[in-house]
Structure 1
Amino acid sequence: MGRKSREVKMSSRAQTITRAFMLYAGLPMILVILLVVGWISTTRIIYYMEQREAVMNQINQQVLRMDGFPADRIHEIEAIRRERLLPHERQLFQDLSLAFAILVIGLTVPVLVSRHVASMVESNLSLLNDRLASGGREGSALMPHTFNFNEFDELVQTLRRTLRERGETEQRWKRAEKELVAANADLLARAEELKNGRKVALSMMEDAENARNELERANARLNEAIEQARESAREADVANKAKSDFLATMSHEIRTPLNGVIGFIEMLRETELDEEQEDYVETIRTSGQSLMELINDILDFSKIESGHMNMEVRQFHLVRMLRQVVALFFNDAGSKGISLELEVEPSVPRDVFGDETRIRQIIINLLGNALKFTDKGEIRLVVSCIHIPKPSDPQGRCELEFEVRDTGIGMDDVQMQNLFRPFSQGDTSTTRKYGGTGLGLAISKRLAEAMGGRIWATSAPGEGSSFFTRIKVGLPTPEESPTESEPEAAPATTARSSGQAEAKAGDNLPLRISVAEDNLANQRVLMIMLKRLGWQADFYENGEQLVEALSESEGDLVFMDLQMPVMDGLEATQAIREGRAGESNRSIKIVALTANALSGDAERCMNAGMDAYLAKPIKIERLKSTILSLFPVDV
């Protein structure tokens, strides 16, 4: 009875202890577990609903943006929805499963732990009671059966580890969610950009098509303009050729009679004349010379305008050339009481490479212009060197400056504006008073620019003018420079002493001379000049007569006019060089006589086989020097 009562008592005590543990430990733990599980489940369900709504909205927006959405793609859209919701559903299922597992564990563990702890406490109490009842005799035997709480530590560690892993999983999931949202936003932005880009591309394609059409129209207009330009160029070439032919013809027709006029005037000056006759002859000579200068200016300007002006670059003595040019104006300057001076700075090189003829022409134009408009005072030609090449660059170009300074009438600003224009002078009154064509400065400007330089002027009314010209020339190397200074040009002799010297040429150099010239006046002029030089000549009216005459006799020298009837000078020269005038006359010296002065005449004559070139009107000194250059002899 007592044992049964004790067992009932122990059972009742165990239940009481179990209820106490359940009430004070297990129940709070269960409530906490329920709260945690409920919170987790609610959060995951809410997140799933938000994600599901976001996916649905995204798909709906994409469907709305589609133009002409067909009804038969509803199943496809539903499949896409399920596919995009599947990861979220799977994640929700995992989260709910975890929450259910936590709930089960949270409900089971407290009950089992409470029972286990109650059983252990009851056992320990029973053991303690037995020990106290036995007076401690069995205390040592009861020690191994004392309660150990290490199981709770392991459970806590397990729960902590589970919660930590859960937190890390939650953080990773949130990061993945943010990345997915960002990627989705980027995808939508890219889609919008592509949509806008498509619109821009379509607009650009339309613009490109319009531009292509416009380009085709522009090309058509350009081709039409090119064809018109070509036609204009052909017409310009024809007009230019016609102008060149006209100039050549007019040059020949004007120079031919002028050659006779000037030639006979020169011959007449050498005869015995009284003072009045000398005045008349000088007036005629001056007029003829002015007419020749006018023709030369017009031809030079025409050659420059047509681009046929060729530069003949060679080495010459600059200072000697300048002195010769200044000497040409001494008499005229002295007759007007004007001082004419030449000033050459020490830095100016003496020997240079350039076109001596064109440089001489520019300076003559400037000096003649200064002398024309100056009645008193002085005219000064100042030559300086603006730029000298460095010793390390011996092939460099030297820039020379020529200043022609006068004390003449001067010019105002309005007159200066028209100064270098063709066929213009200061004003009409100036033209009437001083004469001239107005081409000299225009030609000088073009020549200076052709030689890499420029020309300009400064002036004031009543205070004179200064004309500046800069020209680039080359410098000879030390090997090319002359070892000795060349003598200056000898003063010009009088006409009569010149005639006496010329008479010696024919005595020391007997020649058989033939002349082909169709103009009787020119024949007579050339006959008189040759006679004064000591030679006799046979005259023929065309090249055919000359070739026939030479085929029957030998000759030493032929003066050949270029433009003649029946056979011109070039054809006759070719016939002679081919042997039609006899083998002995193949190498006869032939000098071209022509009234043409256009660019290329000398080259054509030399290419045809001629040896020298004389332009009409012919001066006796030039005639003599040409003959002596072909037949050197001491006279």
Structure 2
Amino acid sequence: MATAKRHDGSERARARGRQGGRGATPFSSPAGDFLAMTCHEIRTPLNAIIGATDLLSATSLTQEQQRYVKLCGSAGENLLRLINDLLDLARLDAGRFSLDCRPFSVTAVLRDCCDVLGAAAHAKNVTLSWSVHADVPAILMGDPGRLRQVLLNLIGNAVKFTDRGSICATVSRTAGETADGPGGAEGAPVELLFSVADSGVGIPSDMLARVFDSFTQADVSTTNRYGGTGLGLAIARSIVQLMHGRIWVESEVRRGSTFQFTAQFGRHEPAAPAQDAPARPATQQRLLLRVLLVEDTPDNRLLARTYLDGHLVAEAEDGAQAVEMFRAGTYDVVLLDMRMPVMDGFAAARLMRQWESDRGLPATPIIALTAYAYPDEIRQCRDAGCTLHLAKPFRRDELVAAIAACHCGGTDDFAPSHPHERSAATAHATRAPEARPERVRVRVDRSLAAIVPGFLEHRLADVIRLEDAIASGNFAQIDAIGHAMKGTGGGYGFPAISDIGRRLELAGRERDTDAASQCLRDLAAYLSSVEPVYA
């Protein structure tokens, strides 16, 4: 009888490190530097290709044309995934891979991953389930994007290699963890154990030692049948190591595999109350936003202008022209390409911020648009004064979410240009299995699936901000948080959040601490139980 085999990818990586580094990869040479730079540059035209395909798919097409557009879009997505994997590998080889640190919900991340892959599992008649142990904290500090990347890879592989049976993803505290952290040390990081078990084809024992290596799959037939580059697990291993964890696999051919990893996360601390900024003259609430679009590529200007249909868009082709227009007009948001001739976006952003500072004006949101997604590039954008960074290629919903995240009056001001994108969602409560608390399932437009998890994470951050605002008696801050929630909830498909926002806004204006505290409790309870169902 065959027995299950176990392989620890982290130990193999450490052994290779003792032997002299990561070993030869396509990026460990001058030619590799050129390859990485080329991958970045490909993202700019790919932005136009994917974006134009999305827009074309929304037009009136014949069935045959729809098939061709779907094929084009699928090929573009596959190319983007390959480029992203290559860029991640390049960042890891160059030692330029770093993690973000912000409040997030592990439950929301795992639920999102299973929602994204649920349709693919269902199509194969495979049961995909998940659970989070009750002792996992509701909010932790860490990088939800990179955690999502690891989980999507592991769960995605499970779906890919499982033709019948089930897949189960779980999260729990590691053995020896207590409520006060490892060994009971108060303030110590929280260590979690993630597990993805499937009943799939399994991995041959002679391949287990290489499964976490770059460009490795079980055999040539695996690539031919399932596709892929063999980069996903290698990147997942490196991300897990950055999270001070380890990853391993136990597998038996024709019996399935169980991938597990540990990771450490910080405990969230209440953030300092935000200071109220004076309103900028001439920028009042309105349905239309005034947008300054700064982009040197005509194709990308056309695409962004189409995404922003229904709003007032002024265009500039370089940084110098943008600065001149910024000083002469008033804008609600600036979309700024960072790599342009004459004057780049970094210099333009600094001049815009200096001009505002000299006149005592609050900062206009500036969203950096760039094909370069290195962490140090993002830091340079922030150092130059940019509010957010949006990597090309991006979709319309990602652009809308970025603008909404800048708190430009919420989605009441940035209303979707196409009415069908406003979800007329209705919520209904259903009782989940006894092992889990009662869930509130909310039907949400499938087109919003990519941005809803981030929206809910921002609302979790609002819980923390509200705690501070109520404790300090900052009613202006309570009013502002409520106003933003009122404007965004319904637009994302969560009318209950809009309702809480309306009550919270009123509590702030009437300086009613009890009412604000009740809103805080209602929001926390709702976020802990809500489960979006995409349809």
> Displacement of 1:407 after TM fit?
1.8
Distance 1:370 1:380 in 2: 9
Contact residue 515 and residue 537 of structure 1 kept, 8 A: yes
Which of 593, 602, 616 pairs up with 2:378?
602
**Partners of 1:572 and 1:476 in 2: CA distance:** 35
Distance 1:244 1:416, change over 3 A: closer
Aligned residues: CA RMSD: 2.9
Task: Report the alpha carbon displacement of residue 240 of structure 1 after superposing the two structures with TM.
Answer: 7.7
SS at match of 1:597: coil
Alignment of 1:373 onto 2:150: no
Equivalences for 1:431-580 in 2 at 5 Å? 431-476=223-268, 508-531=286-309, 534-579=310-355
**Residue in 2 that maps onto 1:329:** 117
Query: Normalized per residue, which structure has more strand?
Result: 2
Note if contact 2:356-2:363 (Cα within 8 Å) is conserved in structure 1.
Answer: no
Distance 1:319 1:587 in 2: 34
| Cα distance in 2 between the residues matched to 1:287 and 1:526 | 22
Q: Note the alpha carbon deviations across 1:562-603, whole angstroms, 9 max, x for none.
A: 111222111222333343999698944321110111121111
Q: Contact 1:398 / 1:475 at 8 angstroms: preserved in 2?
A: yes
Q: Deviations over 1:114-161 (max 9, x none)?
A: xxxxxxxxxxxxxxxxxxxxxxxxxxxxxxxxxxxxxxxxxxxxxxxx
The verdict on how the C-alpha distance between 1:240 and 1:560 changes in structure 2, with shifts beyond 3 A counting, is farther
CA 1:244–1:542 in 2, change beyond 3 Å: closer, same or farther?
Answer: farther
Alignment of 1:146-545 (within 5 A): 246=34, 249-386=37-174, 387-389=176-178, 391=180, 393-476=185-268, 508-531=286-309, 534-545=310-321
Measured at CA, do residues 279 and 508 of structure 1 come closer, stay the same or move farther in structure 2, by a change above 3 Å?
Answer: farther
Judging changes above 3 Å, is the alpha-carbon distance between structure 1 residues 268 and 585 closer, same or farther for their aligned structure 2 residues? farther
Alpha-carbon shift at residue 314 of structure 1 (Å): 2.6
The answer on whether the counterparts of 2:36 and 2:87 sit within 8 Å (CA) in structure 1 is no
Cα pair distance change 1:460/1:609, threshold 3 Å:
same
- 2:398 equivalent to 1:622: yes
Contact 2:166 2:199 in 1 (8 A): yes
Q: Confirm or deny: 8 A CA contact 1:550 1:585 kept in the other structure.
A: no
> Which residue identity is paired with 1:455?
I
Q: 1:256 to 1:507 in 2, by over 3 A?
A: farther
Shift of 1:511: 2.5
> Structure 1 364/298 Cα, relative in aligned 2: closer, same or farther at 3 Å?
same
**Structure 1 regions of 5+ residues with no counterpart?**
1-235, 481-505
Query: In 1, distance between residues paired with 2:137 and 2:362?
Result: 45
Summarize the Cα distance change of 1:245–1:519 in structure 2 as closer, same or farther, 3 Å threshold: farther
Aligned-pair identity in percent equals 36
Deviation readout 1:295-338 (Å, 9 max, x if unpaired) = 11111111122221222223322112211111010111122222
Amino acid in the other structure paired with 1:517: E
Structure with the greater alpha carbon radius of gyration: 1
Indicate the residue corresponding to 2:276 in structure 1.
Answer: none
Aligned to 1:4: none
Mean CA deviation greater in 332-341 or 276-285? 276-285
State how many pairs are aligned. Answer: 371
**Secondary structure of 1:267's aligned partner:** helix
Q: Is the 8 A contact 2:170 2:195 kept in 1?
A: yes
Partner Cα separation in structure 2 for residue 275 and residue 581 of structure 1: 55
Flag the 1:324–1:390 CA change in 2: closer, same or farther, 3 A.
closer
In the alignment, structure 1 residue 632 sits paired with structure 2 residue 403: no
Cα distance change, pair 605–621 in 1 and its aligned pair in 2 (3 A):
same
Scaled by the length of structure 2, the TM-score of the pair is: 0.64
Q: Distance in 1 between matches of 2:342 and 2:357?
A: 16
Amino acid at match of 1:442: A
For residue 389 of structure 1, what is the amino acid of its counterpart? T
- Tell me: CA distance 1:606–1:412, structure 2 relative to 1, closer, same or farther (3 Å): same
Amino acid at match of 1:530: L
Find the aligned partners of 1:587 and 1:564 in 2 and give their Cα distance: 23
Q: Runs of 5+ in structure 2 lacking a partner?
A: 1-23, 272-283, 413-486, 488-535
Q: Which amino acid aligns with 1:279?
A: R
Q: Indicate the structure whose relative CO is greater, using CA pairs within 8 Å and at least 6 residues apart.
A: 2
Deviation for aligned residue 1:606: 0.9
Aligned mates of 1:515, 1:240 — CA distance in 2: 37
Q: After superposing the two structures, state which structure 1 stretch, 561-570 or 248-257, moved more.
A: 248-257
In structure 2, relative to structure 1, the CA distance for the partners of 1:588 and 1:476 (3 Å cut) is closer
1:359 maps to amino acid: L
Given the superposition, is the C-alpha separation of residues 615 and 452 from structure 1 closer, same or farther in structure 2, using an over 3 Å criterion? Answer: same
Pair 583,470 (structure 1): closer, same or farther in 2 beyond 3 Å: same
Contact 2:36 2:86 in 1 (8 A): no
Distance 1:248 1:583 in 2: 42
Residue pair 1:548, 1:581 contacting (<8 A) in 2 also: no
SS at 1:559's partner residue?
strand
Label 1:586 to 1:577 Cα distance change in 2 as closer, same or farther (>3 A).
farther
Shift of the alpha carbon at 1:381?
A: 0.7
